[in-house]
Amino acid sequence: MYNMKRKCFAYLFVILIFINMLGRGMFIANAEELSSATSEDILTLEDVLAGLGDISDLSNSVNLVATLTQLVSNGTYCLNGKYSGDYLRNSSSTIVATSGKIALLGDSIQWQITYVNGYYTIRSSNDLSKYLAVPTAGSANPNLQLVTIGTSTIPTQCLWNITIADGGACLVQNVYNSRYLFSNGTSVYTTDSLGELGSSVYDSRVWRIMSPENISSRELGQSSVFSNLSITVGGTGIPSMLRVPSNAIWATSSDITYSRKVTSHVNVSDGIFTGISTGVTTIVATHKVTDLQFMFAVIVGNEPSYTIRNHVDQGYCVRFGSDSNVITCNTVVADKFAHFFGLNSSSQYVLHTSSADICKINQTGSVTNSNLTIGCPHNTSHLTKDALHAIMGSGTSTTSYVLWTGHILPGNPPSSSYSDFSVIITPNQTTNSNYVNKSDAEVRMESLYTLMHELSHQLGAPDHYCYGVSEGDSVCINSNCDICYMGKTVARECMMSYRRDIENWNECLLYCTSCLSVIDNHLTEHHQ
């Protein structure tokens, strides 16, 4: 079937060329004419210009496009560097290379390409009076400029050749000085050297040309996901990516860069990871085109494991109706830990009678909504976090005990993490000043953050914020305080400093580099 389609296309292409020659008296075809004769199974010329395939992948008859007079149809396009992933951009009349989402970059990365007497003009869409050009003072001048033309005659410095590059996409060469357009970092220049085929030098001269509308419908999205990678010491592997949309363009391994949050355990070269030593490494993958970032883990050796043993007291079930919120929080946080650290978390649930439950039962016979806020006749000795903690017990280096209470303790203290692998979660953030439950959405958001924050302490991450300076003291008791000990004016952006909506916050901004490193090291030491 595929070969038949290729043959049909080839015959149709020849017919179109013949009609075109009869109607115009010349041999001109463009991308629109070619695409109108294609099926979804056949590579188009637009695909080749966009770097999505090589001209050799086209059918034999379509190889004639290499000799066509006009390869690029008149229209508005974005030019994206194959090597850098950056767009050619007009930034306040300065030509730069920039990555980002096209919706944010707007018409600053859009260029109107027009075929004029055998060559192309490239005008900035955010100022159509500006033509992309090279200086006339010295043919070896590498700089670019935007030129305003006041006459009907277009100077040679504003004319460009566009040809198909080796492997697909385009080379853009100025007619005046025969130099090729290329990017270096955020700067864009011209050069008379192409470099060797297949090299980074050559690829930095290659531009992918596509309309902004087509890019927008196939632009890689933030909901794309990298899978964790498990390898052995000395073994190698390549991470897999679930792309959204599935037909996302410019999202192959060469369009991704990787940075390590921990410098041990793995090496990475050309997108291939090699295991160096047993351990966990959190990786940030950056998409060069959109500048989107994604996080995943590389595990060398055994997958780390962790158990969250939840103790839900009667007060919690009375206040919130059930323990369903606890189950939801465990599921979400376990997924986050798996994604960040390759951590295989399991959850256990125990309906627990806490010291606060016992106190209320002894006073009134049962735990009810009306007594969740009453005090203890024994000088609050049953209504402290330490009392709750004493009855619940301690966990281990691979199992954290978590008590969820619905009782309002004196002063409504915040939740806490204990050094014996246990956590107490209070209603501090899930109730208002009158100790009435917040909305279901707020309870979910606050509970998720609290559980993930406190369990991050269990995995070794410290607080970065100031605990407050007591009278007569110059620093707080938190030795990891960014302000008192690190000399910062504000605590660093990290969930160990500020409360976050962890389900909707950018994953790559939830933890600072230091916390990721600390947790990776903790898991390497205790959980493998």
As for how many domains the chain has, the answer is 3
Structural domain contains residue 502: no
Spell out the residues 6+ positions from residue 304 whose beta carbon is closer than 8 angstroms to its own.
Answer: 280, 341, 342, 343, 344, 523, 524, 527, 528
Same domain, 289 and 244: yes
d(CA 456, CA 496): 8
- Which residue segment(s) compose the domain that 235 sits in? 225-300
Same domain, 89 and 191: yes
Instruction: Give me the pLDDT at residue 470, please.
Output: 79
Structural domain contains residue 522: no
- How far from the centroid of its chain's Cα atoms is residue 203's Cα? 24
User: 347: domain CATH number?
Assistant: 3.40.390
- Which pTM does this prediction carry? 0.80
d(CA 341, CA 420): 22
Spell out the residues 6+ positions from residue 69 whose beta carbon is closer than 8 angstroms to its own.
Answer: 26, 27, 28, 118
Where among 275, 300, 325 does a domain terminate?
Answer: 300
Where among 280, 300, 320 does a domain terminate?
Answer: 300
Helix/strand/coil (H, E, C) string of 117-170? Answer: CCEEEEEECCEEEEEEECCCCCCCCCCCEEEECCCCCCCHHHCEEEEECCCCCE
Structural domain contains residue 209: yes
Structural domain contains residue 20: yes
User: 192: domain CATH number?
Assistant: 2.80.10.50
Structural domain contains residue 518: no
Same domain, 30 and 159: yes
Instruction: Give me the pLDDT at residue 16, please.
Output: 35
Where among 268, 300, 332 does a domain terminate?
Answer: 300
Instruction: Give me the pLDDT at residue 60, please.
Output: 53
Same domain, 65 and 165: yes
Instruction: Give me the pLDDT at residue 528, please.
Output: 62
Same domain, 69 and 87: yes
Same domain, 338 and 368: yes
Task: Tell me which residues of the chain have a pLDDT lower than 50.
Answer: 1-40, 61, 262
